[in-house]
């Protein structure tokens, strides 16, 4: 967006982008182990970032998520217990740094224009729905448009920039979530070592969202932290643990089989793959790492015969009811009894435009 000749306080100069929550349908967490995954963007929840040209560069704190004024010490402590220490300001700062350095390293001119960044989000915290990366992804989109460099930074490179910003902050994650949020819609991802080594990224294939059956999201209002789940398994994998290596290959193959299953709309097989995905994860990570509450969400769904697995690292579950509406009613009843929230999944179509699709070259 060109701001030359336009008043900096004009609202018409503002750029705003959304990035949606992400559901890992099959193959997670093999994305950080040279595996394969299938993910989609969830229209139920999103983060939005607004960029407004300004005289100074300002990162604006969110009135709720970056709260620094409290009614009392009790209020402060309760807020930290429920929301943690970090809001979104650090995420916006990190992507600004990564974006600046990438442009500098690749001789992309971004001039000296200044702006104010602000954000909002309704993605529930610690639900494994990629709330942090959604904020970063939306901010990156604003920067691409503000500096008019969207055509110079290829689509398949952008998830790496989002991940790099989060790694600046010590956030443990893989590329899957960022690919899903950059591309939007339903995406099959292949992170095979040969691609990662040769290209620096995986091969990402958008799929038609109409291939998905009706799905349901189950989550808890007070979930466990999703940032601790990979740690032990990652070290064992790096140390050459045969059980972890072979199990992770099986998880990756579930996504490969799942792509074929979706293309054929073989939903009974999809249900089996979803359940097998979770069972493999459980065998690798163990119940203590996964957390009792997270396991209970899966078991509540399975109690009524629904297929279920984590959307990410815990905190939320994606469920499929192969027997249709009567089974959905049973699922809703059981979730309510257990104190869980269950909502129909809204899948967001791909957000890429025709020009961006042209950049998808190996």
Catalytic machinery residues: 177
Angle between helices 131-146 and 89-105 (to 10 degrees): 50
Q: How far is Cα 336 from Cα 71, in angstroms, rounded to an integer?
A: 33
Q: For tokens 């792509």, name the residue.
A: 259
**Measuring CA to CA, how many Å separate 190 from each of 34, 215, 229, 255?**
8, 23, 22, 9
User: Residue 144: how many CB atoms within 10 A of its CB?
Assistant: 20
Q: For tokens 């070592």, name the residue.
A: 193
- Which two three-digit tokens encode residue 166? 């989060």
Q: How far is Cα 67 from Cα 53, in angstroms, rounded to an integer?
A: 24
Rounded to a whole number of angstroms, the CA Rg of the chain reads: 21
Q: How far is Cα 102 from Cα 163, in angstroms, rounded to an integer?
A: 13
Closest to 140 (Cα-Cα) out of 18, 246, 241? 18
Q: Which helix (H) or strand (E) holds 259?
A: helix 242-264
Which residues neighbour 325 within 8 Å (Cβ) at sequence distance 6 or greater? none
Which residues neighbour 318 within 8 Å (Cβ) at sequence distance 6 or greater? 23, 24, 25, 215, 216, 217, 218, 274, 308, 309, 310, 311, 345
Burial zone of 100 (CB within 10 Å; 0-12 exposed, 13-18 middle, 19+ buried): middle
Q: Which helix (H) or strand (E) holds 189?
A: strand 186-190
């Amino acid at each position: 967006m060109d701001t030359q000749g336009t008043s900096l306080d004009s609202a018409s100069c503002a750029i705003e982008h959304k990035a949606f929550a992400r559901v890992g349908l099959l193959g997670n967490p093999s994305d950080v182990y040279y595996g394969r995954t299938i993910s989609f963007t969830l229209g139920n929840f999103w983060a939005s970032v607004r960029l407004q040209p300004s005289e100074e560069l300002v990162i604006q704190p969110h009135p709720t998520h970056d709260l620094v004024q409290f009614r009392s010490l009790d209020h402060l402590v309760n807020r930290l217990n429920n929301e943690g220490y970090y809001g979104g300001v650090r995420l916006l700062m990190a992507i600004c740094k990564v974006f600046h350095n990438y442009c500098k390293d690749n001789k992309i001119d971004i001039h000296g224009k200044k702006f104010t960044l602000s954000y909002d989000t309704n993605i529930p915290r610690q639900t494994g729905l990629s709330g942090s990366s959604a904020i970063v992804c939306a901010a990156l989109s604003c920067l691409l448009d503000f500096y008019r460099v969207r055509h110079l930074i290829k689509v398949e490179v952008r998830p790496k920039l989002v991940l790099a910003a989060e790694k600046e902050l010590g956030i443990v994650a893989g590329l899957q979530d960022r690919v899903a949020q950059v591309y939007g819609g339903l995406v099959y991802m292949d992170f095979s070592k040969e691609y990662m080594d040769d290209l620096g990224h995986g091969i990402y294939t958008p799929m038609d969202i109409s291939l998905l059956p009706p799905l349901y999201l189950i989550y808890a209002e007070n979930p466990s932290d999703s940032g601790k789940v990979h740690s032990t398994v990652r070290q064992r994998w790096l140390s050459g643990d045969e059980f972890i290596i072979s199990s992770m290959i099986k998880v990756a193959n579930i996504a490969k089989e799942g792509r074929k299953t979706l293309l054929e709309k073989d939903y009974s097989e999809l249900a089996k793959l979803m359940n097998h995905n979770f069972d493999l994860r459980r065998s690798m990570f163990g119940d203590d790492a996964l957390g009792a509450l997270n396991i209970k969400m899966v078991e509540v769904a399975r109690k009524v015969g629904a297929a279920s697995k984590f959307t990410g690292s815990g905190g939320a579950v994606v469920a499929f009811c192969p027997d249709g509406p009567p089974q959905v009613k049973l699922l809703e009843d059981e979730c309510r009894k257990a104190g869980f929230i269950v909502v129909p999944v809204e899948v967001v179509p791909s957000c890429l435009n025709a020009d961006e699709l042209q950049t998808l070259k190996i």
